[in-house]
Structure 1
């Protein structure tokens, strides 16, 4: 199955750049159950794993497109991810609203590069998702440069988790997850070394928001997605720069199902952001990040 988009990008009102689909048709999850349970508790008991049909219908009703993905953290967690092939097939069934990103485990070395090529060239994924803390790696280390260069060559963006982490929250030792790997400054190294790679820093990067702002302002190839936080809780510096220096760098994103688009949009409407910037954040900037504009 190869994904071919049928999204009418001129007609949709927004593109949600951060939506999780973390199970497959065999019922296999992306991570051990205790991690899913801890994140559900952190986000106050949301339905952690909705069906692909429910995800697609939610965005169809909202007249939005959504980027869906999972995370391959097999080395760190000792747990195989849910099937990327299954995710792509599901996105193809709902290709009027869903856009698949792939994922590989960078710690697999050359095998990760081979799999990334397969996912892009054979499956047709539009980007790759990474979670340095969950996957247990420092993205600035030289050993990962061949992977980042290959993604740049393939012409797909790389979406990296940044900031604090709901996964593992409350577990002993945070489930072994190290937050320092999600410091956005590590991605500044990647952005400088591989300027042709589009990098999306996921989430307001608490406690490193000023660092994330600076990187996105300084590096033309870096964006910030606004997922995982209700906009009313966004750091003040992020809101302050949204109407000027970050106007072309911010992306609408929710972290669905952990945060519903309706709640995010209601908060967003109350932020002191220039009216002419709002369409950029909701759709225009995403079109550029996805290479569509």
Structure 2
């Protein structure tokens, strides 16, 4: 089991990947190669869940880990939520399982969400509006949100531009418009007790994200996907003040290694009293593990 007292940080944003060769039939490896080039990642195929656990164990960091269910929109087969949860359970000293369900699945997806929490110990849910092809405030997603809200688990939404499909012909069909964080404001209104996380600095909608988070007390921001040395000044200012209790460390592993992110974080303009909150304390509260 995870000993929160001894780990030095909680990475709230890591991706689960299947072993090499599982996607030869649908072009997923080509997508990953393009993303690795975009981020400057140093691997030929992304690390598996056990490899991820080994890396995080060596760094003494816990990690929220999830797949992305975008098979309907992209054609890429999803990584089974049950398998991700089972592998995370084998490495429960460092891994915290989240699941991903395409909201187009409606009531079927809602049943899956409840079952994953009850039977597999899933601790939250990941959405990627650009990959899944939906506006977060589309009512088609509400049956799934209702189920998640019943469980009390958080919902994490990709926001802003994405490295997925970047540089590929037509962006590999990915439409950036779906990931404007302002659409999630409606979700925060309609599900005021469901914790919501806006993932990444939300370029080019950073001020919209900060507006939603400051106005809605159930909205958090994770700082993944960018090196802190590139963070806009306004994001750092809000992290140091109004949103110091709702900012979360996230790397976007395996595209960005946590130790690389943390090294840049140490040199960025965050206040000393705020750093522990971002690295660990805020995540403990969100996960219901705060002492």
Q: Could you tell me how far 1:114 is from its partner in structure 2? A: 1.4
- What does residue 44 of structure 1 align with? 40
Map of 1:92 onto structure 2: 89
Range with bigger deviation, 236-245 or 51-60:
51-60
SS at match of 1:200: strand
Residues 128 and 158 in structure 2, CA contact (< 8 A), matched pair in contact too: yes
* TM-score computed with the length of structure 2 as normaliser: 0.95
RMSD: 1.6
Q: 1:25, 1:86 within 8 Å by CA — same for their partners in 2?
A: no
Q: 1:253 to 1:264 in 2, by over 3 A?
A: same
Selected match of 1:35 from 31, 35, 54? 31
Answer yes or no: is 1:66 the counterpart of 2:66: no
Is the 1:28–1:82 Cα contact (8 Å) retained in structure 2? Answer: no
Counterpart CA distance in 2 for 1:26 and 1:120 is: 29
Instruction: Work out which of the residue numbers 108, 111, 116 in structure 1 matches 2:108.
Output: 111
Stretches of structure 2 lacking an aligned partner (at least 5 in a row): none
How many Å separate the matches in 2 of 1:79 and 1:60? 30
Q: Find the residue that maps to 1:109 and give its secondary structure.
A: helix
114 and 34 in structure 1: CA distance in 2 versus 1, 3 angstrom threshold: same
Partners of 1:105 and 1:24 in 2: how far apart? 22
Structure 1 match to 2:222: 225
Q: Say if 2:213 is the partner of 1:210.
A: no
Aligned with 1:68: secondary structure?
A: strand
The alignment status of 1:77 with 2:66, answered yes or no, reads no
Q: Distance in 2 between matches of 1:49 and 1:34?
A: 12
Q: Pick which of 18-27 and 172-181 moved more.
A: 18-27
Larger deviation, residues 176-185 vs 114-123: 114-123
Contact 1:161–1:203 (8 Å) recurs in 2: yes
SS at match of 2:202: coil
Q: 1:52 to 1:142 in 2, by over 3 A?
A: closer
Count of residue pairs brought into register by the alignment: 288
Distance (Å, rounded) in 2 between the aligned partners of 1:28 and 1:85 = 18
* Larger displacement relative to structure 2 (23-32 or 87-96): 23-32
Is 1:146 equivalent to 2:146 in the alignment? no
> How do 1:1-293 residues align onto structure 2 when only pairs under 5 Å count?
6-23=1-18, 27-28=22-23, 32-47=28-43, 48-293=45-290
Mark the runs of 5 or more structure 1 residues left unpaired by the alignment.
Answer: 1-5
Conserved 8 A contact 1:31-1:80: no
Provide the C-alpha distance between the structure 2 equivalents of 1:156 and 1:31, rounded to a whole number of angstroms: 33
